[in-house]
Structure 1
Amino acid sequence: MKNKTKLTLRILAAILAFTLIGGIFYVTNSIMGNPISRILADKTIREYVEQNYSFLDLEVEKPIYNFKTGSYMARAKSKTSIDTHFAIYAKNGKVTNDHYEINVLGMFNTRERLAQEYSLLARKIISQELGYKDNTTYVIYKNDEKSNEILQLDMKFDHKLPLNAEVNLRLELEDTSLENLANVLLNAHQAFLKNDCYFYRYNIYSEGDESNISVFGVTPEDIESGQLANLLEE
């Protein structure tokens, strides 16, 4: 009787163990994808690149599984072009789409890279001229017809490019009164002009322990009017 009981317990323990292992395997596959589908996605994407983009001399990274969509994504990047990189998506053994046209031909990558370089320059100016050492100011280039005519793949950064640029001042301000915000915007505007940096729009953000404040859509004309504090009240 005891041997029979022990055998039953062992069988139940084995069933429980297999159930747990199966559950873990199922959850892992749901989140990470299974190895076979990953290999298939990798093969499918590489064949797609060879058939459609062999002229770009691309390196293709290992695909990453997206459990929300059940698809795989791999990034392809050029060995020679800094702006030629884009995502490719595959599901059920087929490539569903890629972002070459948007990211590369549409100059999204170029615009983002130049904006990042401009952001570094803007932070340096705000740090040196206004004294905000830990500012996280960033610049955005407007995606318009003008930029599409000027931007070229892999072009070098030049802050004097005739593009519509917007600056976002991210500072830690102790004084968040409208008068001080107007003063900070004026000082920043003058510092940028001094360094031949021209922005068509200014935004300012400040996050503190006691208060957060943000102001959007301030133009150079607003700043130079001498009435900025009053305009901010409106």
Structure 2
Amino acid sequence: MKNNKSALKIVALLVGICLIGGILFIANAFVGNPISAALANKAIRGYVAENYSSLDLEIGKARYNFKFGEYMARAKSTTSIDTHFAIYYRDGKVHRDDYEASVLGKYNTLSRLEDEYSELIIPILSQVPGLEDNRARVFVEKEEYEKINEAIELDMKLDKVLPIDMQVALRGNLDNISLDNIAGILENAHKVLLDHGCFFTGYDVFSEYDGVLVMINDVTPSDIEGGELKKLLQEALDYEDDEFDKVIEKDGEKPVPVKRIRVFIKNDK
């Protein structure tokens, strides 16, 4: 009898050890382990001291990313709002950082300007009927991220007139989705923004309210000012092909994509 009890205790102990081992294995796979984290923190601090000692950086704790099997820590300057970037550690060494893209490539600066400009125009647009509770979002044209614009400087202050192309997405809860109403909102929004010295190269509209989804893209100032915006929106709504229209160049080269208004309305009510 005693032998049976002893055997059960041993089995229970082994099962417990296996369970604990399994939990530790899973935890290690998803969140790393203290020893590896300590090594990553040490290596990242050494890397920063060697490569970026002049930047006066603060370094956060390394976090494990199970998806990529690596640790990542963020470094940020104590004096420059746009100087912050990630550093990546794997297999016992730092294998890359994104200082060049995030800081030198002006990604951080452009992202900050987007955020600040968005905060600036939200109360302006709240004057427009239908956008009283808007969540407008300013975004830089994709092409601006792909080129080095010397007029964009690290830590530059926001100016309403920036030397880059920027669009604005009018986001709110529209209870009237008629094209008449949407055209009116775009016209009024464009006017009030111009009145406040804010110029954008394009407008989007997004609303998801009471089972109705509205998405409109690539409306230009000339579309709004031309006096036929409702007609343009209707034509875009009726257009069945999701692809851009194509324009063939005169010299016979491949088709060139041309931006056109996109309108999508889905009513699940």
TM-score range, shorter chain: over 0.9
Q: Which amino acid aligns with 1:141?
A: V
Match runs of 1:1-234 below 5 Å: 2-130=1-129, 132-142=131-141, 143-144=143-144, 148-234=149-235
Find the aligned partners of 1:123 and 1:133 in 2 and give their Cα distance.
9
Q: Which amino acid aligns with 2:231?
A: N
What do the CA deviations read for 1:80-136 (whole angstroms, capped 9, x no partner)? Answer: 000000000010111111110000001110111111000011111111344634211
Structure 1 residue ranges (4+ consecutive) displaced by more than 6 angstroms after TM superposition = none
Is the contact between residue 146 and residue 163 of structure 1 (CA under 8 Å) also seen in structure 2? no
Unmatched 5+ stretches in structure 2 = 236-269
Instruction: Report the TM-score, using the length of structure 1 for normalisation.
Output: 0.96
CA drift of 1:161 comes to 2.1
CA drift of 1:165 comes to 1.0
Find the aligned partners of 2:44 and 2:27 in 1 and give their Cα distance.
23
Task: Quote the sequence identity (%).
Answer: 50
Find the aligned partners of 2:74 and 2:4 in 1 and give their Cα distance.
57
Is the contact between residue 65 and residue 71 of structure 1 (CA under 8 Å) also seen in structure 2? yes
CA drift of 1:147 comes to 6.8
* CA root-mean-square deviation: 1.4
Unmatched 5+ stretches in structure 1 = none
Q: Which amino acid aligns with 1:138?
A: R
Find the aligned partners of 2:204 and 2:122 in 1 and give their Cα distance.
14
Deviates more, 1:122-131 or 1:159-168: 122-131
Instruction: Report the TM-score, using the length of structure 2 for normalisation.
Output: 0.84
